[in-house]
Structure 1
Amino acid sequence: MKQSLSKTSESILHHEEKVKRNSSLACITPDPERFGTLEKLRAVQKRILNFLQGICKRPCGEQLRNILAINRDVETDAVFIRACQEEEFPEEIRCLNQGHGITNRKSKLFKCTPYLDELGVLRIKGRIDKIEGVDMDTKRPIILPQKHRVMFLIVEYYHRKNDHLPNEIVVNEVRQRYWMTGLRALVRKVANACVACRIRVARPVPPKMGDLPKQRLSPHTQPFTFTGVDCFGPFEVAVGPRHEKRWRVLFTCLTTRTVHLEIATSLSTDSFLCVLKAFVARRGVPRCILSDNGTNFRGVSRVLKEHIERISTLAVEQQYPTLEFKFNPPISPHMGGVWERLVLRYGIGPIWALTIPNLLH
């Protein structure tokens, strides 16, 4: 029993490659499955033709002679296009070479009028041959199979050439030279596989909103017990013959959303301390003030802490609770959205609006 368990199983690994190259030009055309763009396929095909022209010094067949005589910069696509046509439409090309029409009713080209041009490329006849100023590819477009790799590379090339524009523009550009069935489906497939297009149309996933802080959920408390503060401006005001700058200081109750506005002469610590004293004299001492990391807010927090520690007694603490400052984390303006949205509302009004005695809204 132990001997049977100690036996190890052996596995043989081998590589099996299925090649479907029924074209007579398979030996001189690169495999399009190995290329990601049409430009690379064209470059390799051009180098192959240049190599063949260099080694074929002696007379060769008429078919190869016609291929080597093509213009490398214009008609290089005709070689691998003809190869993919011979792979997908072998019966149709055989019938056309024999001088017969397509008799198979199940063929995709049965209702068309295909023919072979001087390079052996399969084209479709039209009714606009007499038009002037139009290329031959537009008059008689090249027939291409839908599911072949070459067609995918061609559509992807036109997709990038037109700067990832809508699919109908790409369809129109491809149809100026090629004819195929199911073109729109292939264009959608190319657009869905395009990384640039996927990034452009991607929608950001909104993050889950966090819980409201305790200061926003404190019922049965006086207004401005928990207060948010921010400064905005400056605004020019006329003081006699000269113009000076003033800033607005916005206090908002985090529970009732009540608003109180004051005027500051500058953004210094002393100026904000005067504003805070005026606010406390009218609204009472808040228990907690939330703000951003402004230097004036930081300075007032330090000064008040020193004064409270200096005169702190039991009677004072009972009458005036300890004032606490809380600051948002750096570079986090979204955490002050309670007062930032009010800045947009009250930052538009005229400066004389602050002189109204009752600023409670």
Structure 2
Amino acid sequence: MHTAIDIDASLRRFWELEYVNQELHRKPENDEVEQHFLKIHTWDPKGRYIVELPFKDPNKQFSDTLTNGNSLNDALRIGPKNHGKEEVKTTALTTQEVILLSPIEALAQRVSSWTKMVRIAAYSLRFIQRIKAITSGTLTNCKGLTFEEMQAARILCLQDAQKCFKNDYNLLMENKPLQSRSQLIKLSRIISKDGLLQVGGRLDNSQLPADVKHPIFLPKSHSITRMILEHEHASNLHPGVSAFFVIIRQKYWVFGARNLIRNLVHNCIKFFRQRNQRAQEFMADLPGIRITEALPFQHSGCNYAGPFILKERSGRNARKIHCLSAS
């Protein structure tokens, strides 16, 4: 039995059933984008694909389009336009906090030597005192700096370095307990007559100098602390880490001193020049009788030790005996 099937009619009917009659709704923006694409995309005779940039026109800069109130879409001539509406601009302001430094802190940033800084501070204090003396009529002539002026300048610099302990200082002056996060909470502390924070300790009855009994507290991140360490390291002929740590503890109690000293010593060129290893002589070869197999007591030697001075008895007419030991 044979059945004739019209294949063309069946395929046409299949596609007509699958076709969805839906019209494409185009917006004006789609037409603008398509026209813009066709305008800036071209092919040259050599077959190269060329795209024109919107700010290639010298009469119209890209930055000018933004400053004139036009949006980015208007500059590219695509998308919806603002129709006369101005673009909302945002302005970002960058603020920087200005930290006012004290005269001593400003001087510490310009000077790299502890001795020079103390002398400059001493001359500044002298200038202030001479201005006061001129107004009061008690001006006296003095050429060089005195010990008292140098000591007053040194105390002034150390007081400025201890400003980070100001809260602890105020609590100690009011006889109140320190805060739990204070660096001085685990240490015995006192306030000297010069107004400096120092280690208390239990060495008041000793005959040690006052600086050794009560070292001065210093912060680890202050520039004055760095200058003091560099000065003491040069004054003590560039010692090593352990020796320099002991020397510093006799005058100052620096928080995190070992790390600071380690960095200072490792960056010191003179220290590395002084610690060159000395040449060591090679030992001679051992004698043949010491490394050759032999019978017992075939080769013998004598080792001496002494002399040891012995007393037979104490008192008058005591005799001394010199004893030698051999093996």
Instruction: Please say which structure displays the higher CA radius of gyration.
Output: 2
> What TM-score comes out, normalization by structure 1 length?
0.45
